[in-house]
Structure 1
Amino acid sequence: MKRVCVTGAGGYIASWVVKLLLSKGYMVHGTVRDPCDEKKNGHLKKLKNAEERLKLFKADLLEYEDLCVAFAGCTGVLHVASPVPGRHVPNPQVELLDPAIIGTQNVLNACLNAKVEKIVVVSSASAVLLNPQWPSDQEMDESCWTDIEYAKSLQQWYAVSKTIAEMQALENDKRDDLTVVTVCPAFVIGPMLQSTINTTSLLILSYMKDEGRTIRDTMENSERPYVDVRDLSEAILLLYENPKSKGRYICSQYSLRTKEFIAKMASFFPGYSYPKTFMEKSGRALLSSKKLLNLGWSYRPLEENIIDTIKNYEELGLLAKGKPFPSIITF
Structure 2
Amino acid sequence: MSGEGKVVCVTGASGYIASWLVKLLLDRGYTVHATVRSLDDPKKTEHLLDFDGAKERLSLFEANLTEDGSFDSAVNGCVCLFHTASPVIFSADDPKAQLIDPAVKGTLNVLKSAAKVESLKRVVLTSSVAAVMYGVKLPESGGVVDETWFSDPVICEQEEWWYQVSKTLAEDAAVIFSKENGLDLVVINPGYVIGPLLQPTLNETSERFLNYIEKGKEIFPDGINILVDVRDTVIAHILALEKPEANGRYCMVGDVVRSSEIIMILDKLYPDHGYSLRCKDKCVEALPYSVSKAKVESLGVEFTPLKVSLKDTIESLKEKKFMNL
Aligned to 2:115: 112
Query: 1:65 is paired with a residue of what secondary structure?
Result: coil
Aligned to 2:190: 185
Contact 2:191/2:253 (8 A) holds in 1 = yes
Distance 1:119 1:204 in 2: 30
Stretches (4+) displaced over 3 A:
218-221, 271-275, 280-285
Distance 1:160 1:221 in 2: 20
Distance 1:220 1:175 in 2: 39
After superposition, where does 1:86-235 map in structure 2 within 5 Å? 86=90, 88-115=91-118, 116-137=120-141, 138-210=143-215, 213=217, 220-235=221-236
Contact 2:267/2:274 (8 A) holds in 1 = no
> Mean alpha-carbon deviation: is it higher for 117-126 or for 310-319?
310-319
Which amino acid is the alignment partner of residue 24 of structure 1?
A: R
Question: Which runs of 5 or more structure 1 residues have no equivalent in the other structure?
Answer: 322-331
Cα displacement string for residues 82-103 of structure 1 (whole angstroms, at most 9, x for unaligned residues)? 11113x2101001100111001
Distance 1:46 1:80 in 2: 20
* Fraction of identical pairs, as percent: 38
TM-score normalised by L of structure 2: 0.91
Contact 1:67/1:107 (8 A) holds in 2 = yes
Which amino acid is the alignment partner of residue 266 of structure 1?
A: D
Tell me: CA distance 1:28–1:285, structure 2 relative to 1, closer, same or farther (3 Å).
farther
Distance 1:47 1:260 in 2: 35
Aligned to 1:236: 237
Aligned to 1:251: 252
Query: 2:136 is paired with a residue of what secondary structure?
Result: coil
Contact 2:65/2:109 (8 A) holds in 1 = yes
Which amino acid is the alignment partner of residue 209 of structure 2?
A: I
Cα displacement string for residues 223-243 of structure 1 (whole angstroms, at most 9, x for unaligned residues)? 121110001000000011110
Q: Are residues 1:47 and 2:51 paired?
A: yes
Aligned to 1:12: 16
Q: How many residues align?
A: 315
Which amino acid is the alignment partner of residue 198 of structure 1?
A: N
Q: Are residues 1:269 and 2:270 paired?
A: yes
Tell me: CA distance 1:219–1:6, structure 2 relative to 1, closer, same or farther (3 Å).
closer
Distance 2:201 2:109 in 1: 26
> Mean alpha-carbon deviation: is it higher for 45-54 or for 107-116?
107-116
Aligned to 2:307: 303
Query: 1:139 is paired with a residue of what secondary structure?
Result: strand
Distance 1:281 1:95 in 2: 37
After superposition, where does 1:14-33 map in structure 2 within 5 Å? 14-33=18-37
Distance 1:266 1:31 in 2: 40
Please report the RMSD computed on the Cα atoms of aligned residues, expressed in angstroms: 2.3
Aligned to 1:327: none
Cα displacement string for residues 33-55 of structure 1 (whole angstroms, at most 9, x for unaligned residues)? 11221122211011111111111
Distance 1:71 1:226 in 2: 31
Distance 1:298 1:219 in 2: 26
> Mean alpha-carbon deviation: is it higher for 263-272 or for 3-12?
263-272
Contact 2:139/2:289 (8 A) holds in 1 = no
